[in-house]
Structure 1
Amino acid sequence: MLVRRWLDTAGITDPVLRECYTLCVRRSLTERSGLGWLVTLGAPPPRRAACAAVGILILEADERVDTGQPEARLQRFNEWTDAWYSALETGTSSDPVLHAAAHACNTAVVRPSRALMEECFTALRRDAEFTEFATYEDWLPWARGSTGASAVWIMSMWGALGESGASILRRYGELAQLVDCLADVSEDLGDGRLYLPLEDLDRFGVRRQDLEAGRWTAATAELIAFEVARITGGLPDLLESALQHPWLHRCASGLDELLRTLCEAVLAAGPLLLRHVAVPGTGPTVRTGLTMWRAALVS
């Protein structure tokens, strides 16, 4: 019912397009990380379906480099991005996600650039050809592309971000990617990947074999605390900048609360961080969602 109302508000009347958007919204609202429904419900009602479509497009690309036989991942990813650019150019696709996302991007007030899409896809493609990061400076371009460019792309469905808005979102993306690397460290190691900068492990004397074996040490605790402090230390200035943006200010407190909630979940996990993905409690996540949802209603 709500999806139909959002599509009506957006002026989308074509039956096939409505069906494609509905599929994207439903997938976004049930996406396993819980971020999909924040992205969707946090958007202004007329733009919720568009945000969901772009979000699922990127998620589909990400899944192709994270799942399936490793030797086939890059090919699957390239086939998906090729199909995307074809859909974007022609405005149509037999795939419902591509069809809806193409419409969303082609009808956006400010169409996202090919360069922005390539920034996102280049970072995701790196996961299929994974090499570890020697330093934090090596890690940053990947994080800003993987999560930062994705955030800019999705939220460009809201309207014109401007240079300052894009910069703010890339910074949020960078911090969000770091906490994601911390929360998923056990899962990533199981897939043969270590995303944390190697210089940080060396700084605290953390041995990779201890991480892989799930052995929690005092050095590991210090490393995790250092990375979390790197995130939380950057949040106050970022929040202040976001509050000055013409419309990002409406969701700034929600983004701040989300990152703090994720950081708290990582710290609370302790030794279990090396055995399971750190997931925040339902209550804090719901509160964050309600903050963003209320902001969307007054936009």
Structure 2
Amino acid sequence: MLVRRWLDAAGIFDPALRAAYTVTCRRGLSDRAGVTWLGVMSVPPHVRPLLAAGAMVVLEADARADEGPHEQRLERFEEWVDAWYAALASGSSADPILHAAAHAHRVAPVKPTRALMEQAFSAPRRDLSFREFPTYADWQEYAAGSAGAAMVWSLCMRGEYGESGERIIREYGYMAQLVDCLADVSEDARDGRLYLPLEDLDRFGVRREDLEAGRWTPAMAALVAFEVARIIDRMPAVLEMARAHPWLYPFCSALDEYIRRLCTAVVEAGPSLLRRVAVPPTGPMVRGGMGLWRSAHVSSR
């Protein structure tokens, strides 16, 4: 019901296009505790289908790089990227997500550049030939270029954000990506990936064999606390910068809360962090998303 109202608000009445957007929005909003949910809820109703479509191009690419038989992931990923650029060039696609996204990019107030798209695709492509991160700077660059670029791309559907706005979005993107790497450390280890900076493992004396075996040690606890504190300490300054951007601030405020709760979940997980993915409680995130929904609805009148 809500998606139909959003499509009406966006002036999207073509039956095939409405069907494509419906599939896309439902896929994008399936995780109601995630960043996509918060992003869609933070914009006015007529923008929500467009933002969901932009986000789903990257999310689907990421899924193809992460899921399914390893020997097929690269081929499936590159097929998706090629299909996206073909849909963008032609304005249509047989795939509902790509069909909706091609339309969204045609009517978007800010046109994402090819360079921005390639930057967003670079992270899952890098994961397919995974290389570890020697330093925190390497890790930070990866996160800012992956989640940061993807968020900038999606928010192009909302409107102009300027250089300072892009810097804020990228900072939140990298912080969200970093804490997500901490939350997923057990899952990534089982997949043969170690995202934590090697210099930090050396600093705290974390042994790779303990991490891979799921053995929780005082050194690992100290490393997790250090990485979380490094994220938390940066957040107030970034949120303060966001106050100067009226339409961006509500999203940043909700994303700030999401990151904080995920940081808390990571720390509180303790030894279980090496056995399962840490997740924040969904209730507060849903309430936060609905608060954004009400705020965006009122501001759009």
TM-score range, shorter chain: over 0.9
The alignment status of 1:180 with 2:184, answered yes or no, reads no
One-letter amino acid of the structure 1 residue matched with residue 69 of structure 2: Q
Q: Which runs of 4+ in 1 moved over 6 A?
A: none
> CA contact under 8 A between 1:254 and 1:291: conserved in structure 2?
no
The alignment status of 1:139 with 2:139, answered yes or no, reads yes
Once the two structures are superposed, the pairs formed by residues 1-299 of structure 1 within 5 Å of their partners are 1-31=1-31, 34-299=34-299
1:12 CA drift (Å):
0.7
> CA contact under 8 A between 2:33 and 2:286: conserved in structure 1?
no
Deviates more, 1:245-254 or 1:146-155: 245-254
1:139 CA drift (Å):
1.5
Query: Following the alignment from structure 1 to structure 2, what is the Cα–Cα distance between the partners of residues 263 and 32?
Result: 18
Query: Following the alignment from structure 1 to structure 2, what is the Cα–Cα distance between the partners of residues 107 and 203?
Result: 50
Query: Following the alignment from structure 1 to structure 2, what is the Cα–Cα distance between the partners of residues 280 and 6?
Result: 28
Query: Following the alignment from structure 2 to structure 1, what is the Cα–Cα distance between the partners of residues 60 and 33?
Result: 14
Query: Following the alignment from structure 1 to structure 2, what is the Cα–Cα distance between the partners of residues 236 and 186?
Result: 29
Query: Following the alignment from structure 1 to structure 2, what is the Cα–Cα distance between the partners of residues 282 and 183?
Result: 15
Alignment partner of 2:247: what SS?
coil
Deviates more, 1:191-200 or 1:66-75: 66-75
One-letter amino acid of the structure 1 residue matched with residue 235 of structure 2: L
> CA contact under 8 A between 1:30 and 1:36: conserved in structure 2?
no
Q: What are the superposed Cα offsets for residues 76-102 of structure 1, whole Å, 9 maximum, x if unpaired?
A: 111110110010011000000000011
Deviates more, 1:54-63 or 1:196-205: 54-63
Alignment partner of 1:298: what SS?
helix
Query: Following the alignment from structure 1 to structure 2, what is the Cα–Cα distance between the partners of residues 239 and 54?
Result: 24
1:284 CA drift (Å):
2.3
Q: What are the superposed Cα offsets for residues 14-55 of structure 1, whole Å, 9 maximum, x if unpaired?
A: 110000000011112213763332222222111111111112
1:13 CA drift (Å):
1.2
Structure 1 residues 33, 212: CA separation in 2 closer, same or farther (over 3 Å shift)? farther
> CA contact under 8 A between 2:65 and 2:128: conserved in structure 1?
yes
> CA contact under 8 A between 1:21 and 1:53: conserved in structure 2?
yes
1:287 CA drift (Å):
3.0
> CA contact under 8 A between 1:42 and 1:293: conserved in structure 2?
yes
Alignment partner of 1:163: what SS?
helix
> CA contact under 8 A between 2:183 and 2:266: conserved in structure 1?
yes
Query: Following the alignment from structure 1 to structure 2, what is the Cα–Cα distance between the partners of residues 252 and 205?
Result: 35
TM-score, with structure 2 as normaliser: 0.96
Query: Following the alignment from structure 1 to structure 2, what is the Cα–Cα distance between the partners of residues 210 and 284?
Result: 34
Alignment partner of 2:272: what SS?
helix
TM-score, with structure 1 as normaliser: 0.97
Deviates more, 1:51-60 or 1:83-92: 51-60
One-letter amino acid of the structure 1 residue matched with residue 221 of structure 2: A
> CA contact under 8 A between 2:239 and 2:256: conserved in structure 1?
yes
> CA contact under 8 A between 1:10 and 1:47: conserved in structure 2?
yes
RMSD: 1.3
| Structure 2 residue ranges without an equivalent (≥5) | none
Query: Following the alignment from structure 1 to structure 2, what is the Cα–Cα distance between the partners of residues 180 and 167?
Result: 20
